[in-house]
Amino acid sequence: MGIEGIGARVARKEDKRFLTGKGRYTDDMTVPGMKYAVFVRSPHAHARIRNIDVSAAKAAPGVIDVLTGKQMLDDGIGNLICGWMIHSRDGSPMKMGAWRPIAHERVRYVGDAVAVVIADSVLEGRDAAELVVVDYEVLDAVIDPLAALQPGAPQIHPESENNLIFDWEIGDSAKVDEAIANAAHVTEMKIRNNRLAPNPMEPRAALGIYDAAEDHYTCYTTSQNPHLARLVMSAFYNIAPENKLRVIAPDVGGGFGSKIYIYPEELVCLWASKRTGVPVKWTSDRTEAFLTDAHGRDHVSTVKMAFDANNRITALKVDTIANLGAYMSLFSSAVPTYLYATLLSGQYAIPAIHCNVRTVYTNTAPVDAYRGAGRPEATYLLERTVETAARELGVSPAELRRINFIREFPYQTPVIMNYDAGDYEASLNAAMQAADWNGFEARRAEAKARGKLRGIGMSCYIEACGIAPSAAVGSLGAGVGLWESAEVRVNAVGTIEVMTGSHSHGQGHETTFAQLVADRFGVPMDSVNIVHGDTDKVQMGMGTYGSRSGAVGMSAIVKALDKVEAKAKKIAAHLLEADEADIQIANGELVVAGTDKKLPWAQVALAAYTAHNLPSGMEPGLKEGAFYDPSNFTFPAGCYICEVEVDPETGKTEIIQFVAADDFGNIINPMIVEGQVHGGLAQGIGQALLESVHYDGSGQLLTASFMDYAMPRADDLPSFKVSHQNTPCPNNPLGIKGCGEAGAIGSPPALINAITDAIGNNNLEMPATPEKVWALINA
């Protein structure tokens, strides 16, 4: 490891532009003749559209045109898709309803677009939007998923009777029921996982540019996966064939999953650009983001965990209802199934598991993956139940976990996942030490003397990321493969460009990916450029989400680097008249081992491109590509401990300390990894203490601004204590497990376990607002 190599805390190359206001986010983009789109959105959660009168709006100052769903349908623009087929227990395919980009005939949630104004300015567009007259026949709406399943509830889509999309299961029901019947102890819980709004700080935006001369579209979009956007818009939405559509995701200000999906707005901008003959830009405001960005989580579950007389878990039975909102978003079917139930073994050797998941339509915003995507839901359920069981059984929370840890790898769980490597006890021990677990009771007594309630809670999480082995997910219903691509281009004078199918929207890839190259060839990081986000520059990729860019994206780069290294060595060997096997690369030079015969990297590159003296039969050039398809998921795991102090007068929780002990396998840049953990912890603590999306009974979104939805701020959070106990992943070249989501996955149960410990009442649901906590204290 050099100053800039693998394992080094290299400061980020991308920071300069962000720190000096030179970032290029989608809303920063302007093109000549650009106009602005403003959407007219349904104020009703469920209604039939009888008529739309755009005449007054079209006549308003600055308006180019006003377009409706009917025009979009007539122009052949397709429905939005869900890319993962799930079958119900009876073998029938999921009952998916149609999702029009602009609603036609029916709206199904507050915020559903019904028309779009194209105007000279946003302000004129907003004025005109208010002049669009929509004649709605308001229908009854249903907001709660349990209510939606009842006969007689309003039917949201004709395809799904009683709003049931699918009824799916995994595991062995008979084995589980038998174990429960014979158990020495059964812990039962009802667990709610609260609905969240991802809220990256950059609102979504899109700029659609149709070039009539070339019959070609360019789309700037705030996307985590521009190639996926191009694929879906071309193959399913009928915008244009791929070779006539360029998608560019420039600097993107955070995503957390919410920018994976290809939303109506980018389609509308492209379609409207062709119809009106002008480039069309749309930028979400924050209220629009709350209304229309895919929400996360929203599960209600019942859990039974069975124990034998030695406190070993013998079975786990889970029944979950997952609210998918008014339309099925792109990955919405996979999140509460294959990204959730397959993690229900946790870190424990559980012989029998069964999970039933029913997904439901309601008149709310679509729900899809949000940082963790299914794994926070599984972890919260498991770790609340295990901690509760420990209390019921009179065993320490640490001891109950130790008794049940998986200790031999690889380990085949009863729910598909095969864990590759780990040492859960190492993280547990590290976390307990860092938290001074043994000294806690003294701290609790001291706090009590001051009239405060202290509590401590633990969460031992495991997750599956490095998404994903293509054949495996294909067999489970995925419509795409989840490999990654890289092309390493060595230029004639030795600088290097890496074209990656990953996309950086905060993760620092321009730095960490360059570290791989600097480490391999000993060239300065400054001579290495990472290129991402443009379908014209990078041939194909699957994007960044699911903590995959290390495990999958970097693995593709390594494979390409291997090929470049091999060719460079062949050239050097030829030029130095040595054996290829004797060539070593270090410090930017190719050296014949044990001699002083060497060539600088730049000279070898030049030789490749002048081609004056290459080995016989070798093609000129030094550029290699690779695709990498993982053979398995990766399994980051760890132990989080949270200590809180609750003020019984106000119910307010102060976090005294938050300790994270994570196993991420091998780490490329510890500074970046810590940052990912910090950010994930903040979101998980936000879920546990502060955040919750609320709709009223008629489907109005009550939490539609930062005034109403409590985002974590600096004074809500402590500084974190982060450490690593790494067991390398055996299944990819760098041994990386990934780190992007773990913080959000492992932290909520640690918080709630701590607060329930503090107040001596276990009936606490997220978010643990002061009002809720106070009410439980005074119950």
Residues that bind other proteins (CB under 8 A): 11-12, 14-25, 27-28, 123, 199-203, 251-254, 256, 283, 285-287, 505-508, 671-672, 674-675, 678-683, 705-707, 711-715, 717, 719-720, 743
| Pick 135 or 708: Cβ nearer other proteins | 708
Q: How far is CA 70 from CA 100, 106, 392, in A?
A: 10, 11, 59
| Pick 288 or 757: Cβ nearer other proteins | 288
Residue 307 one-letter amino acid? F
For tokens 């199934």, the residue is 337
| Pick 629 or 716: Cβ nearer other proteins | 716
| Pick 672 or 701: Cβ nearer other proteins | 672
Minimum CB distance to other proteins, residue 373 (Å): 16
Minimum CB distance to other proteins, residue 420 (Å): 28
Minimum CB distance to other proteins, residue 718 (Å): 9
Closest listed residue to residue 401, CA positions, set 413, 410, 389:
389
Closest listed residue to residue 435, CA positions, set 672, 687, 750, 654:
750
Minimum CB distance to other proteins, residue 18 (Å): 3
To the nearest 10°, report the CA torsion of 334, 339, 344, 345. 130
| Pick 14 or 178: Cβ nearer other proteins | 14
Q: Report d(CA 221, CA 226) in Å as an integer.
A: 8
Q: Which two tokens stand for residue 687?
A: 């879920």
Minimum CB distance to other proteins, residue 336 (Å): 24
| Pick 20 or 778: Cβ nearer other proteins | 20
533 in Cβ contact with 249 (< 8 Å): yes
Minimum CB distance to other proteins, residue 254 (Å): 4
317 in Cβ contact with 354 (< 8 Å): yes
- Strands, E assignment, 253-386: 280-283, 299-307, 313-325, 352-361
Q: Report d(CA 399, CA 403) in Å as an integer.
A: 6
| Pick 251 or 298: Cβ nearer other proteins | 251
For tokens 């149960």, the residue is 749
Minimum CB distance to other proteins, residue 703 (Å): 12
Minimum CB distance to other proteins, residue 506 (Å): 3
Minimum CB distance to other proteins, residue 187 (Å): 32
Q: Which two tokens stand for residue 473?
A: 């997910």
| Pick 163 or 653: Cβ nearer other proteins | 653
Instruction: Name the β-bridge partners of 638.
Output: 461, 662
121-131 burial, b at 16+ Cβ within 10 Å, e below that, comes to: ebebbebbbeb
Minimum CB distance to other proteins, residue 544 (Å): 12
Q: Report d(CA 741, CA 546) in Å as an integer.
A: 7
| Pick 201 or 449: Cβ nearer other proteins | 201
Minimum CB distance to other proteins, residue 141 (Å): 25
737 φ/ψ angles, rounded to the nearest 5 degrees: -100, -35
| Pick 61 or 697: Cβ nearer other proteins | 61
How many other C-beta atoms can be found within 10 angstroms of the C-beta atom of residue 599?
20
| Pick 201 or 779: Cβ nearer other proteins | 201
Minimum CB distance to other proteins, residue 721 (Å): 10
DSSP three-state, residue 97: coil
For 450, residues 6+ apart whose C-beta sits below 8 A from its C-beta are none
| Pick 645 or 674: Cβ nearer other proteins | 674
DSSP letters for 578-634: --GGGEEEETTEEEETTSS-EEEHHHHHHHHHH-SS--TTPPS--EEEEEE--SS-B
Minimum CB distance to other proteins, residue 505 (Å): 6
* Cα 740 from chain centre: 8
| Pick 210 or 709: Cβ nearer other proteins | 709
Q: Report d(CA 547, CA 463) in Å as an integer.
A: 10
40 in Cβ contact with 134 (< 8 Å): yes
Q: Report d(CA 190, CA 763) in Å as an integer.
A: 9
Minimum CB distance to other proteins, residue 720 (Å): 6
| Pick 148 or 677: Cβ nearer other proteins | 677
Q: Report d(CA 364, CA 361) in Å as an integer.
A: 8
Sheet arrangement for strand 583-586: 583-586, 589-592, 598-600
Q: Report d(CA 328, CA 364) in Å as an integer.
A: 11
For 615, residues 6+ apart whose C-beta sits below 8 A from its C-beta are 570, 571, 574
Q: Report d(CA 636, CA 779) in Å as an integer.
A: 39
Minimum CB distance to other proteins, residue 287 (Å): 6
| Pick 24 or 407: Cβ nearer other proteins | 24
| Pick 123 or 611: Cβ nearer other proteins | 123
Alpha helix ranges (H) inside 611-741: 670-689
| Pick 90 or 715: Cβ nearer other proteins | 715
Instruction: Name the β-bridge partners of 208.
Output: 219, 280
Minimum CB distance to other proteins, residue 202 (Å): 4
Minimum CB distance to other proteins, residue 585 (Å): 30
Closest listed residue to residue 76, CA positions, set 262, 244, 215, 238:
238
DSSP three-state, residue 537: coil
Q: Which two tokens stand for residue 653?
A: 């929780």
Closest listed residue to residue 503, CA positions, set 82, 5, 14, 8:
14
| Pick 108 or 371: Cβ nearer other proteins | 371
To the nearest 10°, report the CA torsion of 565, 571, 576, 581. 50
Minimum CB distance to other proteins, residue 365 (Å): 18
How many other C-beta atoms can be found within 10 angstroms of the C-beta atom of residue 80?
21
